[in-house]
């Protein structure tokens, strides 16, 4: 593994970040116990920035926004969920399918790679802790592992 010197690493956290935000439905044990993945990805690099598991209640969007507070958000692209309109001003928020294609594609990646997320399946999680852990580990491994 290559070691990086301090002067070799260039991180730019001052420029405004453009993020795509969306939510994805899944279930644990049975379809009446829904779990929603709320997440945000960098619009330019398609790298996940933060995610939060919860219900469809908009307080879970607030938790995701709390995780994004250290970043300077310049533009938010989201679907037409009115929760985004309440949380972000019209100067920051841009709704529509045109700019959320990457995060929607990431939903497809998750659903095809993690069988328990497929809509019609006999594979499911019995425990919410296991369910969220598997998804979180996959996100971290898929997007952040060192590929050699």
CATH number at residue 86: 3.30.420.10
Assess contact for 44 and 37: CB atoms under 8 A. Answer: no
pTM tops 0.85: no
At residue 50, the pLDDT reads 92
Residue 10 binned pLDDT confidence (cut-offs 50, 70, 90): low
d(CA 13, CA 70): 9
User: Once rounded to an integer, what is the mean pLDDT over residues 127-138?
Assistant: 87
In a domain, 48, yes or no: yes
CA distance to 88, 123, 126, 127, per residue, from 131 (Å): 30, 11, 8, 6
In a domain, 128, yes or no: yes
In a domain, 7, yes or no: no
In a domain, 147, yes or no: no
Q: What's the full length of the chain, in residues?
A: 148
> What confidence tens digit (pLDDT) does each residue in 106-131 have?
988 888 888 777 766 666 677 888 88
In a domain, 145, yes or no: no
How many domains does the structure of the chain reveal?
A: 1
Q: Average pLDDT, whole number, for the chain?
A: 83
């Amino acid at each position: 593994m290559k070691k990086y010197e301090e002067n070799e690493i260039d991180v730019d956290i001052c420029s405004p970040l453009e993020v795509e935000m969306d939510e994805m439905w899944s279930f644990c044990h049975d379809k009446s116990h829904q779990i929603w993945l709320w997440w945000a990805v960098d619009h330019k690099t398609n790298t996940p920035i933060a995610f939060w598991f919860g219900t469809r209640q908009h307080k879970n969007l607030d938790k995701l926004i709390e995780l994004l507070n250290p970043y300077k958000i310049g533009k938010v692209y989201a679907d037409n969920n009115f929760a985004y309109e309440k949380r972000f001003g019209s100067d920051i928020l841009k709704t529509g399918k045109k700019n959320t294609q990457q995060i929607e594609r990431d939903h497809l990646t998750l659903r095809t790679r993690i069988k328990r997320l497929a809509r019609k399946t006999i594979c499911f999680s019995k425990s919410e802790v296991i369910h969220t852990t598997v998804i979180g580990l996959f996100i971290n491994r898929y997007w952040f592992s060192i590929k050699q």
